[in-house]
Amino acid sequence: MNNLFISDNTSPADQRILKAVSDANDGYALSYGNDRWTEEAEALFKKEFGEDSLYFPVLTGTGANITALASVLKPFQSVLCASTAHINVDECGAPERFTGSKIIPIETENGKLTPEMLSKYTLNPGFEHHSQPGVISVSQTTETGTAYSEIELLELSEFAKKHNMILHVDGSRIANAAAFLGVSLAEACRGADVLSFGGTKNGLILGEAVVFLNPALAQETKYHRKQFGQLYSKMRYLSAQFIPYLRDGIWHENASRANRAASLLADGLMKKNIHIHYPVNGNAVFAVVPPEIIEKLSLKFRFYVWDESASLCRFMCPYTATAQDIEELLNSF
């Protein structure tokens, strides 16, 4: 069975990342982040996101999201996000459990929020019977494979500021968004106060980071990270991965490769008159596949039937997907 298209976590780790981990396997180093690899990674994050930004390495994407959100929320506040958001659908209620805050899912057409969609939630500030909107959380790219432009993010950021809210970006696929938009990582999360920075889906063995663009919000982050089991003691191995990832542009190279594979797949499917449901702005392709073809494909490939009633399927392209892999899938339609 071909596991390539079911998720971007099925791919092997990048050899250059493995080498960085192996190189860090060098003698004794202080634990919990007091090591030279963490120091170097921190400097690289500052280069990418600004001198004032703060880097908190964590183990998982869910860990990054709960650490980021708990740092900026009070239990009586709520998080506004798209109904499709990972924090709403795929984290087993961890954000609610660890922040005590209510998640308010909002229906969207393509996974993206706009200020207009949010405005009805901010009409009654201070009303003690309602949770108080505290965070706007967006995913970049979204769970439906679309990307926010810098202008769209800035509009959300202005809205957030106007209503005393924080803008959180779940950047599990921030590299794919930046590569698609042709901008830097910082530009791909323009206006955000705090970012969950992804690595695992784009070549790392494990590991993500919470990056505070607004460092004043990070006063309590280290305590939350520890309580949530996200403070990895042998942190040098986690941080060592981010060094070549950022310094050598591996993030861009890998994300561009994944995005190219997705474009190739979408083009090939359109040529076969298969409808592409969402714009392909990253490495995900959502296609309406007739049920008889779903049945045939399922014998050979694993992929996600996103919405059975609409015959909507998701094909994720990992950074390792080659033109030949795409060809093989297309030939099976």
Ligand X SMILES: Cc1ncc(COP(=O)(O)O)c(C=O)c1O
Shortest Cβ distance from residue 129 to ligand X (Å)? 32
Task: Name the residue nearer to ligand X (CB basis): 132 or 239.
Answer: 239
Shortest Cβ distance from residue 94 to ligand X (Å)? 8
Task: Name the residue nearer to ligand X (CB basis): 274 or 316.
Answer: 316
Task: Name the residue nearer to ligand X (CB basis): 198 or 274.
Answer: 198
What count of other Cβ atoms lies within 10 Å of the Cβ of residue 268?
Answer: 17
Q: Do 80 and 102 form a contact (C-beta atoms < 8 A)?
A: no
Matching residue, tokens 């990674």: 41
Shortest Cβ distance from residue 195 to ligand X (Å)? 12
What count of other Cβ atoms lies within 10 Å of the Cβ of residue 31?
Answer: 13
Shortest Cβ distance from residue 272 to ligand X (Å)? 27
Return the half-sphere exposure (C-beta side, CA atoms, 13 A cut-off) of residue 235.
25
Torsion of CA 83, 49, 145, 285, to 10 degrees: -150
Cα dist from 10 to 27, 280, 302, whole Å:
32, 20, 11
Q: Do 257 and 319 form a contact (C-beta atoms < 8 A)?
A: yes
Task: Name the residue nearer to ligand X (CB basis): 92 or 123.
Answer: 92
Residues paired with 304 in a beta bridge: 314
Shortest Cβ distance from residue 140 to ligand X (Å)? 9
* DSSP3 helix / strand / coil % (the chain, rounded to 5): 45, 15, 40
Q: Do 205 and 13 form a contact (C-beta atoms < 8 A)?
A: yes
Shortest Cβ distance from residue 52 to ligand X (Å)? 25
Nearest residue to ligand X, scored by beta-carbon proximity: 61
CA dist 318 and 333 (Å) reads 20
Sheet with 132-139, strands from edge to edge, namely 54-58, 208-212, 194-197, 166-171, 132-139, 77-82, 102-106
Task: Name the residue nearer to ligand X (CB basis): 102 or 173.
Answer: 173
Shortest Cβ distance from residue 291 to ligand X (Å)? 26
Q: Indicate the SS3 state at residue 188.
A: helix
Shortest Cβ distance from residue 159 to ligand X (Å)? 21
- Give the binding site for ligand X (CB under 6 A): 60-62, 86, 139, 143, 170, 172, 200
Task: Name the residue nearer to ligand X (CB basis): 42 or 143.
Answer: 143
Cα dist from 192 to 11, 131, 138, 206, 301, whole Å:
29, 22, 10, 24, 38
What token pair was written down for 19? 């080498």
Task: Name the residue nearer to ligand X (CB basis): 132 or 141.
Answer: 141
Task: Name the residue nearer to ligand X (CB basis): 132 or 137.
Answer: 137
Shortest Cβ distance from residue 295 to ligand X (Å)? 26
How long is the chain?
333
Task: Name the residue nearer to ligand X (CB basis): 65 or 78.
Answer: 65
CA dist 222 and 184 (Å) reads 27
